[in-house]
Structure 1
Amino acid sequence: VSNPGNGRSWSGAFQYLQDALHESDLAAGDAIHVAAGTYLPDRYVGSPNGSGDLTESFELRPGVAVYGGFPPGGGPFATRDPASWPAILSGDILGLAQDAYASCGDADSGAADCFTATPWTTGCVNGSCCTQVCDQIPFCCVMGWDQQCAYAAVDICEGRATVTALGIGQSILLDGFTIRDGSAVGAPAVDPYIYYGGGMRCGYAGGPVVIANCTFTGNQAEYGGGLAITGGVAHVVNCRFEANQAFLGGAMYVNYADATLANCLFTGNAADEGAGSGVYADPDSVVSIVNSTFVGNFSASHGIAAYEVSEIANCIFWGNGSTSVYGTGSVTYSCVEGGHTGEGNIDAHPLFADAGGGDYRLALDSPCLDAGNASALSQDVADLDGDLQTDEPTPLDLHMARRVLDSTVDIGAYERCRYDLNGDGLVSVEDLLALLAAWTTDPGGPPDFNDSGDVGIDDFLELLANWTGCD
């Protein structure tokens, strides 16, 4: 936006998200529409080049819904597509974030002290902070870590959640954003919660906070690398948590709160010093996780991906270490590596479509197909299908495909339609060609939909009857 206006139309849009948040009117029931781009919390009309203040945060307003994913220049709501038009809320205020951080020095060098010293005060918690310091002061890695390096660690690495939802009021909605490179660290004497939620922190009493269709990636904190929920009620729907890290709760930390998670993917998150590489819940919280997938997360405490979660249903836990789930909560109709007590649970490789390529949808021969419990579906609080019925069972999956097919549901974040033979989310010509290629053979499953022992006319007619039936 070259000539920012009053934010009441796309032609007069605000240039900075902070200004839109500050001007949003609770009494008017405002909604904020955000076009594709990268937004930093220290940028606003009075500070167009950024203040450099690492404690700045996007503070969500009570009663205001914030939607990302509009095309550049804006457009009607129907054109909104967060995957094609990402709206990025970045905590990388100093422009120091990198995709990967190498070790600052050998384990026996003085620079190794940046990891072993007390975090937030005289050292760094991980390679991100360490590398940022040494980028500014090469001496810290080349020669050794001294008090100057320690002071630099506080100045450069101290910050807070990129997005916050705090206070008391009406419900809040955040929908369709990528929240990345947040770093919630600092001295607890200033703010006891400053090191909670690198990407986002919710500590909200009143209406619920709904977080939908968001991706949390590359965030760090002491508690809840991606998201920390420290009070109130929160619903997290159709969200991805990738490569976040913290001491506890690599992706998410919950205490003194009620939280529900549905259709979420957790992968590559790390709890460096404790448990809950995916979700860490304090015993004083009530946390329910439904139809979510946890794969390839790391925890220093026995590989625990979910710690003290109250209720787990229709979830996949695979490749997270020796113990994926810990606590006294119920686990049902889930695929848990190593097995877990509970009705409907299985211990069999989930057979993802392409785990090496990051595609955690189910293959056609996955044991998780139709193995879930439809009655465990959570309510559609985010109104994923836009029909204004928020009390119905969640109708869509993480890929925004139909969740309930033939009265059954799959285990995990993604639903696989058995007629979608090539896994593209549609039943189309490509699937028809795949069926014809298997004509008269016995594939031991689809496209032998009626399990007759060969692919024939009945299977052909069944596929046609479900044409485009997965979307």
Structure 2
Amino acid sequence: MFYIMNILQKKMNLFRLILGLIVLGTFSCVEEDLGSFKPKDPNMVFGEADTVYVSKDAADYKVMLTSNLPWRIKADAEWVTVNTKQGLEPDSVSFSIAKNPTTSVRIARLTAWITQEYENVIIIKQEAGDPLPDVSTDFYVKVDGSPTNDGLSWETATTLDNALALAETKDQIHIAAGTYKPTVIATGGNEATPGDLTFEIKKNITLTGGYPANATTGATADPALHVTTLSGNMSGQFAYHVITVTAPVEEGLKIKFENINITGGKSAASGTANLSINGLNYPRLNGGAGVIARAVVEFVNCRIHENKADYHTPGFYIFSGAQVTFTNCSLDKNTGTSASGANGGAIWNDGSTVYFINSAISFNGNSGVGGGIYAYNASVPSKTYMFNTTLDNNYAAHKAGYYGRENSVGLMVNCTVYGNNSTHATNSGAGICLYANATTTRFDIISSTITGNVSVGTADPSGGIRVNDANCTLNIYNSIVSGNLGGGNVGDIYAPASVNYNKTYSVISGLVYDGSGSEVSGQAFDPATMLGVFANNGGVGYTCLLTGSANPAETLGMTSAQLSTLGLNFEPVIPDNVTTFDQLGKTREGKTSIGACVK
């Protein structure tokens, strides 16, 4: 028995020795591996070329991605779908391309990354699509339309969201009277966020309102009787943008809104994230009425009113080179709700081109700058052209009517600027303000009347026009700048001594200037007796008529021929049907009146 126990004890000791050696060896190996471990440096590259050229038609493609570490991949355009979204070391990346519906080459990017600091990009360039046949489809929409109807007649009217989904480029959507609210989330939006509901315009189409609510075949639009409204107010919850324009630029094509009211949107508060659509960042915090990027858009006989913003621009935010025209439109009562520092009221023109023709921009405001129109992009020009338009009663802390910042280009012809109000103690500029800093800013005023604007600030004389610095160019032709207040005193134009602005055949405060910019001896202008009250004298916006006897503004201005020649010197050329008529459509032929309205 003792012998057996002795053998077992020896075997147990041997087992313990072997186990100890194994453990010791294991820890020795771990220490050696940890001491010599070095992470791999990322190394990743797409194939041999940096650009993939793809067909205009829908198709699937693959590219080789060589990598020594795990990677992920994404596309920046809606028309590219990535099928292989991640991989381990070398692998082929599969992606699908949608058919190009435009007649332009379009570009997207595939971005592969290992870490935030290490990524690689390959360009996808798709050839231009075929020109579209010269045909279009008409869709018909009613408030009580059915989403299952084809929308091809008033009798089978559908919903607006369904019509937008069905419509192709060049199609027309006819919308009966009533109020329409979005039910579809914007591309890339959050289904759980009501603010992302919007009427997204993805194609170059025409939307026409003003038809009877119970329209039948043959009905015609009469917007004075039948009001069509797109609203972002959804029972106390608000769309960040009533409309969102994401359509591509196509040669000779545009989006057109006619006889439509846009109201009830409310852009988001500061800090809210952007939406990424077609490679662009659409800000949720800008543009309660809508956001427009790249596209060519026209608004005709539309009213954009009573939209709000928890931060920037309760009206329209227009960016990324868009071209937008408002004709016979009213942009009014679009107001910001932020306590301070929020910019843009009716419009923020961010690196785009915007026209206002026979329109009114009235009673809009925000807590920062640019209560009427804010034109600003740090890198590219923001161009704003106003013809026969009234800019009135807009408000902001400062720069209340039109504010043109760095790189901006502005032009007004036959316009009235009245009653704009700013409250900042200094640097105000209630009617018009220009600021260039180290860039350039230009504003030309032709045959316009700027009066009744007020800078409330006690130390600011710039109720009418403020020119901030010597890099600003201001040219005034055949115009009246008089009757504005700044700090309780006459405040028509403020400019530093370094600024020598041009004034030709114009009235500035109580003085009259000739074609060389010299004072006309023996002539004086009194705005209290020589300008009528701001009133509805015809046209879309209110105006101030010339009044009184011996009024120099009636006779000492430019001739119709001089104004026509002046218009030829601009790029683009100002048409004769603008320069040779006044704001109310009266001819300037045979007259030499100064200001927006002839007598």
Q: What TM-score comes out, normalization by structure 2 length?
A: 0.48
Matched residue, 2:373: 279
Partner of 2:126: none
3-state SS in 1 of match to 2:262: strand
Which residue in the other structure is 2:315 paired with?
226
Give the Å deviation of 1:30: 1.0
Q: 1:173 is matched with which residue: 252, 256, 267? A: 256
**Once the 2 structures are TM-superposed, how far is the Cα of residue 83 of structure 1 from its aligned partner?**
2.5
Shift of 1:276: 1.1
Q: Determine whether 1:310 maps to 2:410.
A: yes
Equivalent residue for 1:262, pick from 342, 345, 357: 357
Counterpart selection for 1:243 from 325, 333, 342:
333
Q: Quote the offset at 1:248 in angstroms.
A: 1.3
1:298–1:305 contact (8 Å) kept in structure 2: no
The DSSP-based 3-state class of the residue aligned with 1:18 is helix
Matched, 1:25 2:168: yes
1:91-110 map, 5 Å:
91-93=232-234, 95-96=235-236
Cα deviation per residue 1:390-422 (whole Å; 9 max; x = unaligned)?
x99479x99xx983546489966xx89x8xxxx
SS at match of 2:155: helix
Are the structure 2 counterparts of residues 364 and 55 from structure 1 closer, same or farther at C-alpha, using a change threshold of 3 Å? Answer: same
Whichever residue aligns with residue 276 of structure 1, its letter is G
Residue type of the partner of 2:287?
Answer: G
What RMSD, in angstroms, separates the aligned Cα atoms of the two structures? 3.8
Unpaired runs of 5+ residues, structure 2, are 1-141, 186-190, 276-280, 337-341, 422-428, 435-441, 452-462, 466-474, 483-526, 569-574
Identify if the C-alpha distance between structure 1 residues 315 and 392 changes in structure 2 by more than 3 Å, giving closer, same or farther: closer
- Distance in 2 (CA, whole Å) between partners of 1:20 and 1:411 is 46
User: For the Cα contact (< 8 Å) 1:290–1:377, is it kept in 2?
Assistant: no
What is the one-letter code of the residue matched to 2:243? V
Distance in 1 between residues matched to 2:443 and 2:384, nearest whole Å:
9
Given candidates 414, 428, 443, the residue that maps to 1:329 is 443
Corresponding residue of 1:90: 231
1:41 matched to 2:182? The reply is yes
Could you tell me whether the CA contact under 8 Å between 1:34 and 1:68 is conserved in 2?
A: yes
* Structure 1 residue 295, shift from structure 2 partner: 1.5
Q: Using the alignment, how far apart are the partners of 2:375 and 2:576 within structure 1?
A: 27
2:153 alignment counterpart = 9
Larger radius of gyration: 2
Q: Is this contact kept in 2: 1:339–1:345, CA < 8 A?
A: no
More strand by share: 2
More deviation, 173-182/53-62? 53-62
Report if the CA contact (8 A) 1:352-1:359 is conserved. no
**Residues of 2 paired with 1:179 and 1:86: CA distance?**
11
CA distance change for structure 1 residues 25 and 339 in 2, over 3 Å: closer, same or farther?
closer
Residues 181-228 of structure 1, C-alpha deviation per residue, up to 9 Å, x if partnerless?
1011154434351112110111024xx211121111111233321111
> Quick one: which amino acid aligns to residue 256 of structure 2?
L
* Distance change (3 Å), C-alpha of 1:72 and 1:310: same
Q: 1:360 pairs with 520, 531, 542, which one?
A: 542
Written as runs of structure 1 = structure 2, the 5 A alignment for 1:337-356 is 337=451, 342-346=476-480, 347=482, 348=527, 349=531, 351-353=533-535
What is the Cα deviation at residue 365 of structure 1?
Answer: 4.7
Asked whether the equivalents of residues 154 and 217 of structure 2 are also in contact (C-alpha less than 8 Å), the reply is: no
Which of 163, 166, 179 matches 2:243?
Answer: 163
> Structure 1 unaligned runs (5+)?
45-49, 97-155, 379-390, 419-471
- Displacement of 1:354 in angstroms is 5.3
Q: Distance in 1 between matches of 2:256 and 2:160?
A: 15
Q: 1:290 aligns with which of 384, 387, 399?
A: 387
Against the structure 1 CA distance between its residues 362 and 86, is the aligned structure 2 distance closer, same or farther, given a 3 Å change threshold?
Answer: farther
Offset at 1:75? 5.4
Decide whether aligned partners of structure 1 residues 43 and 410 sit closer, same or farther in structure 2, where only a CA change above 3 A counts. farther
The alignment partner of 2:246 has SS state of: strand
| Alignment-derived partner of residue 212 in structure 1 | 300
Are residues 377 and 214 of structure 1, via their aligned partners in 2, closer, same or farther at CA, if it must alter by over 3 Å?
A: farther
User: TM-score if structure 1 supplies the norm length?
Assistant: 0.60
Letter in 2 for 1:230: F
User: Could you say what secondary structure the match of 1:310 adopts?
Assistant: strand
Q: Give the Å deviation of 1:361.
A: 5.3
Residue 20 of structure 1 deviates from its aligned partner by 0.9
**1:189 aligned to 262, 267, 273, which one?**
273
Distance 1:403 1:185, change over 3 A: same
CA displacement at 1:244 relative to structure 2: 0.6
Q: Which amino acid in structure 2 is aligned with residue 184 of structure 1?
A: S
Q: Could you tell me how far apart the structure 2 residues matched to 1:331 and 1:255 are?
A: 21
Q: Is the counterpart of residue 320 in structure 1 residue 420 in structure 2?
A: yes
| Structure 1 range deviating more: 283-292 or 70-79 | 70-79
CA distance in 2, matches of 1:410, 1:86: 38
Q: Percent identity?
A: 23
Q: Which has the higher contact order (CA 8 A, sep 6+)?
A: 1
Deviations 1:328-380 (A, max 9, x none): 3222221112555611111244523359xx972566859999989775899xx
Shift of 1:297: 1.2
Q: Distance in 2 between matches of 1:86 and 1:392?
A: 34
Give the 3 Å change call, closer, same or farther, for CA 353–209 of structure 1 in structure 2: same
Q: For the Cα contact (< 8 Å) 1:42–1:51, is it kept in 2?
A: no
User: How far apart, in 2, do the equivalents of 1:84 and 1:242 lie?
Assistant: 20
User: For residue 296 of structure 1, what is the amino acid of its counterpart?
Assistant: N
CA contact (8 A) 2:345 2:364 kept: yes
Residue 312 of structure 1: how far off its partner (Å): 1.9
SS in 1 for 2:162: helix
Q: Work out the CA distance in 1 between the residues paired with 2:214 and 2:578.
A: 32
SS of residue in 1 equivalent to 2:477: coil
Distance 1:365 1:13, change over 3 A: farther
